[in-house]
Amino acid sequence: MSHLLAIDVGTLSARAGLFDREGQLLACASASFELLTPVEHHAVYRMDDIWQAVCRASTDCLAQRPELASSIAGLAFDATSSLYIEAEGGAPLDGGGDVICWMDHRGEAEAAEVDATGHRFLAHVGGALSPESNLPKLLWLKRHRPAVWARVTGARDLCDELARRATDTDRHSVCGLACKWPYLPDEAEPWCQDLLETLGIGDLISLGRLNDKPGRVGEVHGRVSASAGAALGILAGIPVAVGLIDAEAGALGVLGRDYLARMNNLLPMIGGSSTCYMPFAPDERHVSGVWGPFKDAIFPGYWMHEAGQSLSGTALDAVLNQHPASPGKASSALHLRTAERILKLLDEEGGAFAANRHIVPDWLGNRAPLGDGRVRALLTGIGPETGERAFLEAYYATARALALQTRHILEHLNANGRYAFDSVALAGGHLHNPLLVRLYRDAIGARLILSDTKEPVLLGTAMVAAVTAGFHADLFASLEAMAPKQKALDPDPYWRQVHDAAYRIYLTLFKTRNEIEIAGRALEALSPAKASGAI
Per-residue pLDDT tens over the stretch 12-45: 999 999 999 999 999 999 999 999 999 999 999 9
For 286-343, write each residue's pLDDT tens digit: 999 999 999 999 999 999 999 999 999 999 999 999 999 999 999 999 999 999 999 9
Burial (CB count within 10 angstroms: exposed 0-12, middle 13-18, buried 19+), residue 528: exposed
Contact 302, 272 (CB under 8 A): no
- CA 487-493-494 angle, to 5 degrees, is 130
Assess contact for 207 and 155: CB atoms under 8 A: yes
pTM value? 0.94
Task: Give the C-alpha distances (Å, rounded to integers) separating 436 from 59, 291, 313, 318, 392.
Answer: 32, 25, 10, 16, 14
Rg (Cα) of the chain, in Å, rounded?
22
Question: What are the backbone dihedrals phi and psi of residue 28, each rounded to the nearest 5 degrees, phi first?
Answer: -155, 145
Is residue 523 within a helix (H) or strand (E), and if so which, with residue range?
A: helix 493-524
CB-CB contact of 365 with 375 (8 Å): yes
- In this prediction, residue 535 carries a pLDDT of 46
Q: Which domains does the chain have, with CATH numbers?
A: 3-242 (3.30.420.40), 255-534 (3.30.420.40)
Rounded Cα distance between 58 and 13, Å, is 12
pLDDT at 529: 64
- DSSP per residue, 450-510: EES-S-HHHHHHHHHHHHHTTSSSSHHHHHHHHPPPEEEEPPPHHHHHHHHHHHHHHHHHH
- Residue 249 phi, psi (nearest 5): -65, -40
State the pLDDT at residue 97. Answer: 98
- The ranges of the chain with pLDDT < 70 are 529-535
pLDDT at 530: 61
Q: What is d(CA 444, CA 375) in angstroms, rounded to the nearest whole number?
A: 23
